């Protein structure tokens, strides 16, 4: 059971006062976390790459490494170091999230989110600034699509001419390979 957080971690932006009525965790990211982690077949899916980015940030801030893994492209999940991820999440004093830019359409199935994840250090607030790529993978049985994070730090042995790791049927170099 998560604490009743007054403001969801993804709603806190230490460099802006733009959000006047920030959502609580239970009204923002908790339904996504609870649904996906409960193994429900009809789990709540992030409707955009930006929404997925926000839920992933909150999962880091609340130390939910299983959610981080399950929202990474399935072919990369077994290659993630869950212990390192969990330790980093625990050791970081998260301070907030700023979405710099969301590009919802990069080709047929990709999107990008540029963000700054803020954290406190002895020298003050610092930012991890990143441009992340996401891919929407369609379930062939239901034709529903689910957004996944493409982790460029995962070492994969895939060549440019092999089928793409997202299962699109295209060659890797013409699909997700553009983001590695």
pLDDT tens digits, the chain, 180 residues: what are they? 455 668 899 988 877 766 567 889 999 999 999 987 776 656 788 999 999 999 999 999 999 999 999 999 999 999 999 999 999 999 999 999 999 999 999 888 999 999 999 999 999 999 999 999 999 998 776 667 899 999 988 887 888 889 999 999 999 999 999 888
| Per-residue pLDDT, 1 | 44
Q: Residues in the chain, how many?
A: 180
Is the distance from CB of 166 to CB of 135 less than 8 angstroms?
yes
Residue 171 is predicted with a pLDDT of 93
- Under DSSP, is residue 158 helix (H, G, I), strand (E, B) or coil? coil
> And the tokens for 99?
């979405």
Structure tokens, 42:
């009809």
Q: Are residues 125 and 134 in contact, defined by beta-carbon separation less than 8 angstroms?
A: no
pLDDT for 6 equals 83
Provide the whole-model pTM. Answer: 0.90
Residue tagged 């170091």 (tokens): 81
- Residue 49's CB is within 10 A of a number of other CB atoms, namely 25
Strands 124-138 and 110-121 turn out to be antiparallel
Please report, for residues 6, 27, 38, 63, 87, the alpha-carbon distance to residue 69 in angstroms, rounded to integers and kept in the order given: 26, 22, 14, 12, 14
Predicted confidence at residue 30, as pLDDT, reads: 93
Q: Which residues pair with 137 in a beta bridge?
A: 146
């Amino acid at each position: 059971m998560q604490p009743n957080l007054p403001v969801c971690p993804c709603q806190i932006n230490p460099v802006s006062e733009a959000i006047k009525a920030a959502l609580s965790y239970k009204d923002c990211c908790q339904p996504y976390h609870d649904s996906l982690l409960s193994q429900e077949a009809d789990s709540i899916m992030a409707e955009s790459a930006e929404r997925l980015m926000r839920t992933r940030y909150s999962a880091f801030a609340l130390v939910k490494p299983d959610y981080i893994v399950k929202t990474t492209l399935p072919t990369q999940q077994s290659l993630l170091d869950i212990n390192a991820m969990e330790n980093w999440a625990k050791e970081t004093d998260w301070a907030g999230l700023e979405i710099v830019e969301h590009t919802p359409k990069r080709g047929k199935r990709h999107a990008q989110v540029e963000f700054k994840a803020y954290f406190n250090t002895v020298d003050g607030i610092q930012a991890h600034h990143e441009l992340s790529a996401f891919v929407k993978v369609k379930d062939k049985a239901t034709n529903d699509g689910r957004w996944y994070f493409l982790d460029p730090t995962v070492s994969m042995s895939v060549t440019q001419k092999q089928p793409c790791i997202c299962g699109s049927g295209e060659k890797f170099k013409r699909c997700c390979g553009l983001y590695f």
